Amino acid sequence: MDASKSFGKRHNDGFRSPSSGKELSEVFLKRRKVNRALVTFRNLFDKLMHQYKMYEPGNPKVKNKALLDAAMTMKSEHQWENTQKRVGHVLGIEVGDVFQYWVELNVIGLHKQFWHGIDYKIMDNGSLATSIVVTDRYDNARKSNGTLVYEGHGGNPAVGKNVSLRDQKLEGGNLALKNSMQARSPVRVILKVCGKFDGAFSSSSSNSHYSYVYDGLYLVDTMNIERGRYGKLVFKFGLNRILGQPPTCVSLKDHDENSSQLASFSARKKLKPKDCDAEKEVVRVEDLSNGREKFAIRVVAPSDCVQLPTSFVYVVSNIYSKKFEQAILSGCDCADGCVDKENCVCLRKKKGSKMPNGCNKRGLASGMESSVIYECGPSCKCFSSCINRVTQHGIQFQLEIFMTEQKGWGVRTRSFIPCGSFVCEYIGEINDYMEARWRLDSDYIFHMGVGKVFINASKFGNVGRFINHSCSPNLRIKNVQYDHSDKNLPHKMLFAVKDIPAGNELSYDYNSFNGKFIKCRSNSCYCGTPECNGRIYI
C-alpha cells in the first residue's frame, strides 16, 4: 500500500502526512483493523439477510433491518473502529475508499450519524463539523467553478409540496458547518455514488445500486441563506476540495446554480483504468446446465473476453461404466423423517456419523470429521424431505462461472452460503485406471482416494469441474453414500467449512485425503492466501 495515499497534503491547517517508520506502522495496523471490521460487518449482514429472508419472505424492510442489526451487534461487542469523533482524516481510511452501505461509515468511524448528513463534534468553544454525506435527498449541486454547494440540515426541503415544511435553523449540523467555515477547519466529504465503483474496500458481493466514496477533505468557504425549492429558508454552504489530495474515482458532474437535485457522479478522467474502471462483466451463457439445475448456472466474463468454457456435456449425476455394478444400499423403515437417530438404520451404519441440521438442510461443520456420511436413499421408506437427505436435492445456492485473473475459469457464489451447507457434487464419468490412463493429462481427472477409481469430468461433468484449488479453502470434500453399498465408489460432495459471503470464489484443497486431482499441466498455485505454499500438488 502506498502510505502517501492515506493522508492528503494540507496547507495552513496543521495536518501532515505520516513520515516516521513508527507512524507508518501505525497506519498499516489501523488499516488492517478497519478492513477486518468491514469484513466482519459484511459477513454478519449476509448471515442476517439469509435468516431474515427465510422467516420474513417478501418483506421489503429486511435489508435495512439486517444492516442496522449487524452494525448494532458489532457495536455491543466493541467491534467498531475509530469510535471517537475527530476532525480531519481518520486513521486507517484512505481518500478514494469505497463503501457499500451508509452504516459501514459508522462502523469504521468515517461518519458517526446513522441518518443525518452532517456529523459534528462538540468542542470547548462550540462545535465543528467532522464530515458530511452528499446525497440527492437535498438540492446539492456543483457550480461551474468547482464549488460543492451543500444544502443544510432540517426542514426536509426536497421531500415534496404535500409535506409540512419549515425553515432551516442555524443549529446542530448547520451551526457546526458555519463554525468550521470561520475556523477554517477541514470537513470530510463522502459522496453517494449512483452505481458501483472499485476501491480499496469495494466488494462484488454488494447488490446495492449505490456506493459511498470518501472524497477527502474540503474547506467551507461560504454560507448563504436562500429560499428553497418550496419557499422555505435553507442554508447553502459552498465547499472546495483541499488541493494536494489523491484523486478519487468519482467527481461531481457539473450543474449550474439553478440545477435541482444532485443526480449522480462520473469517473475522473485522469485516473488510470486500473485504478478506477473495472472491466465490465457480461453474461456469456445464461444457463450452462440447460435447465438441469434448480438454479441457472450462468457464465460471466469481461466484455472483451471471447473465450468460453471448453465443450462438455452437463450432467447432474455420475455416469458409471458397466464394470461398476453397485449393490443397492439397504434402507431404513423410519416413518418420522428419521428424527430418532437411534432407530434409523442409515444413521447407525457409521458410528460417529453426524446428523445434519434439520430445517435448513445443513451438514454440521463440527461433524464433518467422520470418514463417510450415510444418507437415506431410494430404498428407504422415509419421505423425500427427510432431514437425512441433504445432498440429493441438487444445488441449493446460486452459483456462477467466471474468468479469474490468473487461474482460468472459477466458480463463485451469488448468494450467502452458511458454514456446513452442502454446495455441490463433483460429477463425471466413473472410470478405473485402465479406462482413465489415456486421459490422465486432462485437467478434470479426480482420483477418488480409494482403489484405482477416478472421476473423469473431461467430457461429462457439472459446475464442480470449474472449482479451483486453494491452500486455505472454503469448501471441503466429504464421502457420501445413499444409493449403493460400494465403499470404493462414494459420492464426492463439497461442503462449506466457513460462512461464504455472496460474491466470493469457491475453492477446495486438491490434495484432500478424500481424493485428489492427478497432476497435469501446471503445479503453480495462485490462490493468493497467506497460507499459500506456491504449489498445488504436494
Instruction: Encode pLDDT of 402-442 as tens digits.
Output: 999 888 899 999 988 988 999 999 999 998 877 666 554 46
How far is it, in rounded angstroms, from Cα 113 to Cα 190? 12
**442 neighbors 435 (Cβ within 8 angstroms):** no
Q: What are phi and psi of 433, to 5 degrees?
A: -60, -40
Eight-state DSSP code of residue 331: -
What CA–CA distances, in Å, run from 113 to 5, 30, 43? 25, 21, 22
Average pLDDT, integer, range 446-463: 86
| Residues near 153 by beta carbon (within 8 Å), at least 6 away in sequence | 116, 117, 118, 168, 172, 173, 174
Tell whether domain 281-303+310-327+393-490+498-517 is in CATH 3.40.50.2000.
Answer: no
- Across the range 498-516, mean pLDDT stands at 83
Query: What is the distance between the alpha carbons of residues 525 and 538, in angstroms, rounded to a whole number?
Result: 11
Q: Give yes or no for residue 351 having a pLDDT over 70.
A: no
Q: Report CA dihedral (291, 292, 293, 295) to the nearest 10 degrees.
A: 0
| Predicted confidence (pLDDT) at residue 458 exceeds the cutoff of 70 | yes
**Higher-pLDDT residue of 436, 268:** 436
Rg (CA), the chain: 28
Q: Which amino acid is at 194?
A: C
Could you tell me the residue ranges of all domains in the chain? 3-270, 281-303+310-327+393-490+498-517
- Can you read off the three cell numbers belonging to residue 254? 457539473
- Of 109, 175, 188, 176, nearest to 148 by C-alpha is 188
pLDDT at 445: 82
For 119-133, letters b (16+ CB in 10 Å) and e give bbbeeeeebbbbbbb
Confidence label for 507 from pLDDT (cuts 50, 70 and 90): very high
Length of the chain: 538
* Calpha distance 171→154 (Å, rounded): 9
Statement: residue 200 has pLDDT above 70: no
d(CA 130, CA 114): 14
CA–CA separation, 410 vs 305, rounded Å? 15
What CATH architecture does domain 3-270 belong to?
Roll (2.30)
Q: What is the pLDDT of residue 203?
A: 36
Cα torsion angle, 343, 349, 350, 351, sign: positive
**252-266, 462-476, 500-514 — which one is most confidently predicted on average?**
462-476
The pLDDT mean for the chain works out to 78
pLDDT band at 331 (very low <50, low <70, confident <90, very high): confident
Per-residue CA distances from 351 to 100, 347, 382, 477 (Å)? 47, 8, 21, 19
pLDDT at position 266: 43
Question: Is residue 117 within 8 Å of residue 173, measured between CB atoms?
Answer: yes
Give the pLDDT of residue 88: 92
Q: Is the pLDDT of residue 364 over 50?
A: no
